[in-house]
Structure 1
Amino acid sequence: MKETTTGTQAAPIPRQRTEPLLDSAVRYAEERHWDVLPGTWLEAVAGVERCSCGDTACSAPGAHPTRPDWAAEATGSAVAARALWSGEPRASVLLPTGRTFDAVDVPETAGFLALARMERMDVTLGPVARTPDRRMLFFVLPGAGAKVPGLVRRLGWTPSAIDLAVRGEGGYVPAPPTRVGSAGAVQWARRPTAVNRWLPDGEELAGPLAYACGQEARDGRG
């Protein structure tokens, strides 16, 4: 059963069962063979939840790496992941990009529009995450960062003008059920399953995503 609804409006995601961050990290490593990384977490300070980094103006409270050399800490081992989160169970779950997957990052409204169209066209899709800041992340094969921007330009759009970006090598994405400040938790619009274990190439999604983002940009200007 699909977890999204069709149409051009952003549809609410059904309430999902929330499992502990540790269990989620272990499952991603064990079942999907994704590298996982423990990030910052939320702490209650004078009744207000703040990022464990201590920066009161943190742009991603509770959902970013804890140190500059974070890439070396990421692991694809379920055993190592269990040990890392056992030390700090509140740590957010971050997934490094550019390793087993890249993520095409688009506005939520455009993401739902493209998702509905691609489902109707029976396009192969991987997992899709929805973040509290109203973004959608489409998981694709690594290497999309080098190909998708050029494809988008050949389709007649400038990636920055239509608010489409690719998170690839050297980047990361927050994974469910990570919470980002008071905005809420990251959720799956299309959760990882055995059916979508094999990810699509970024080229396959570039057209529908660029078109949807272009539509949103035009509507916004109007």
Structure 2
Amino acid sequence: MDTTPDLWPRPLAAVQRAAGRDTVADAAVLLAAAGVPVFPCRPGEERPRTPRGVADASRDPDRVAWWWSRYPTANIGMPTGAASGIDVVDVGARDGGSGFPAVRAAQRAGLVDGWGLMVATPARGLQLYFPHAPGSEQRSWSGIGVQVDFRGEGGYVVVPPSLALDDADRPVAYRPIMVARHRAAPVDAAALRQLVEPSRPHRFSSAWAAPDATAGPAVLATWLASRPYDGRSRRLSWAARRMAEHGFDRTSTLTLLGPAAHHTGMDEQTIEQTVASAFRQPAPLRAPARAARAAAELARAVPAPDPMTRPGGPDRRPPEVVSL
């Protein structure tokens, strides 16, 4: 279905077309051929599959095809910001909370009206895709105390038709659910953050009070940003080690934890040095139980030789064309 391409920047149109492909390999090659850089992530996850993560992203269709010939079940990672021409507002719904009230407030304030594509995530969340403003640099950030994150410079997202496990550990595809009729326009990430982020972030019960060692990036980032200034380097180092144990590389760790560390007053050089030092510390790498279950579920659910064929049913319906 044609969706008024004259209103759409080419990268957004490419993401929508890729979502309709039957396999992630075809989708990844389509994106690269359209000039949108991509890189493989681990099956059913957001963790990069390549050594340098988002820094390895490529627009070369041949290189991308080679990656997916080696890793046919890999999810598709896409750098955000100037690299792809796309910024993303990521709305979460996890741990008994939701970012939807905050994003509805942003909608009432007219701060997210320029979205071009809405993508439903397997975890019942939502991603709003916006065109990146040429010449601007809006850094990625994680909302403190709310489940609204911005993925711009230095960030990345997993794009359709990638798969992940839902709350019941069932493989579900990322999929477009709405396409805008209006002209897509950039989002003001600074104004959005000022609106949605509470003035008093959530406080843990003590100065250290570390989360469980199996906590994911969102919990670790919230913990880092809500701690007192004293001991912030030690906490960042601890969190970076947890990320390494979960299989994240150094680049991805900086992308996911860096904004939270910066929120405490740490400068970029200190953040980079602390994370680099943490990754040099020897520690056994152990995969979380959920990641192991994800691999097993995806192996059972996806048949060979096309293991990333999208499931049938509702996910194969064309996206609805709407305007807010």
Q: Give the TM interval when normalised to the shorter protein.
A: 0.5 to 0.7
SS in 2 for 1:83: helix
Q: Give the corresponding residue for 2:121.
A: 131
SS in 2 for 1:80: helix
Deviations 1:93-148 (A, max 9, x none): 11112322221112367289749x68x9x9432222221112212223163337x8
2:57 to 60, 71, 74: 74
Give the Cα–Cα distance (whole angstroms) in 2 for the partners of residues 113 and 104 of structure 1: 9
What displacement does 1:63 show?
3.5
Q: After the TM superposition, which segments of 4 or more aligned residues of structure 1 sit over 6 Å from their partners? A: none
1:169 and 1:143, CA in 2 relative to 1: closer, same or farther beyond 3 A? same
Q: Give the corresponding residue for 1:179.
A: 163
1:123 and 1:166, CA in 2 relative to 1: closer, same or farther beyond 3 A? closer
Aligned-pair Cα RMSD in Å: 4.1
Q: Give the corresponding residue for 1:22.
A: 25
Say which one has the larger Rg: 2
1:16-55 equivalent positions in 2, closer than 5 A: 19-31=22-34, 33-41=35-43
Higher relative contact order (Cα pairs below 8 Å, separated by 6+ residues): 1
Q: Give the corresponding residue for 2:88.
A: 103
Name structure 1 gaps, 5 residues minimum.
4-15, 42-60, 150-158, 215-222
Q: Which amino acid aligns with 2:60?
A: S
Q: Give the corresponding residue for 1:220.
A: none
SS in 2 for 1:145: coil
Contact conserved, 2:54 with 2:77, CA < 8 A, in 1? no
Deviations 1:7-48 (A, max 9, x none): xxxxxxxxx8561111111122223x211111112xxxxxxx
SS in 1 for 2:62: helix
Q: Give the corresponding residue for 2:146.
A: 162
* Structure with more helix by fraction: 2
Give the Cα–Cα distance (whole angstroms) in 2 for the partners of residues 180 and 77 of structure 1: 26
1:210 and 1:163, CA in 2 relative to 1: closer, same or farther beyond 3 A? farther
Give the Cα–Cα distance (whole angstroms) in 1 for the partners of residues 187 and 148 of structure 2: 12
Give the Cα–Cα distance (whole angstroms) in 1 for the partners of residues 62 and 74 of structure 2: 16
What displacement does 1:205 show?
10
Q: Which amino acid aligns with 1:145?
A: R
Q: Which amino acid aligns with 1:144?
A: Q
Deviations 1:55-93 (A, max 9, x none): xxxxxx443202441233210122322222122221111
Q: Give the corresponding residue for 1:86.
A: 69
SS in 2 for 1:93: strand
Please say if 1:188 is aligned against 2:173: no
The alignment-based identity, stated in percent, is 23
SS in 1 for 2:160: coil
